[in-house]
Structure 1
């Protein structure tokens, strides 16, 4: 089966966590409900810079795994503040589901949108 590039909006890059990364996530105070050993990039296809996938959330901090072809690291971030609907009260389908300062367009569970549309 081939993937139609026009239908794919999320970056197709994937990473398999190594033993140290899995141990880091297991050692966080809030256990992940279902930590996966393979994660996919959550950024928009064609993004600049490193790939990124949410590893685990602990309170207001999201631990994101970021990687390139030669290295990977786990970094703490807060949620991106952009929202499609300014009246949204919680992290919902209208809120950006990425980290603050991410490259490319904002992303919710359903769509990508430009920053100027989030006002």
Structure 2
């Protein structure tokens, strides 16, 4: 099996949310499925800085779990516009499925959906 160098590979890091983080997400006014207690990093393999996984979206704010080996936290962001100039409101309108200012390459929404379907 060979790896297609054209398609970025996600970082394999995972995080388990604590009770306070799960309670925070459950309290958000969002019409979305509840957050899973274990999430995988959505950034490109070999990225710099902390790992990140989308927790929830409320209106134009996206809540991302960011973690290192020693700590994790929930942070608000807006969607990355990808190669466009203005931030998008809906993930389906994006060239990139990550947060504004993320490290590494842009992640396509198609690749993110395929990764979610495979897990």
TM over 0.5: yes
1:52 & 1:76 partners in 2: Cα distance?
12
Does the aligned pair in 1 maintain the 2:26–2:34 contact within 8 Å? Answer: no
Unaligned runs of 5+ in 1: 85-89, 113-119
2:25 & 2:91 partners in 1: Cα distance?
22
**TM-score normalised to the size of structure 2?**
0.77
- Aligned residue in 2 for 1:100: 100
Does the aligned pair in 1 maintain the 2:81–2:94 contact within 8 Å? Answer: no
Does the aligned pair in 1 maintain the 2:61–2:77 contact within 8 Å? Answer: yes
Return the offset for 1:58: 0.2
1:6-85 → structure 2 map (5 Å cutoff): 6=3, 9-83=9-83
Q: How many pairs does the alignment contain?
A: 106
**TM-score normalised to the size of structure 1?**
0.77
Structure number having the greater helix percentage:
2
- Aligned residue in 2 for 1:87: none
Return the offset for 1:31: 4.5
Return the offset for 1:19: 0.3
Across the aligned residues of Structure 1 and Structure 2, the Cα RMSD in angstroms comes to 2.7
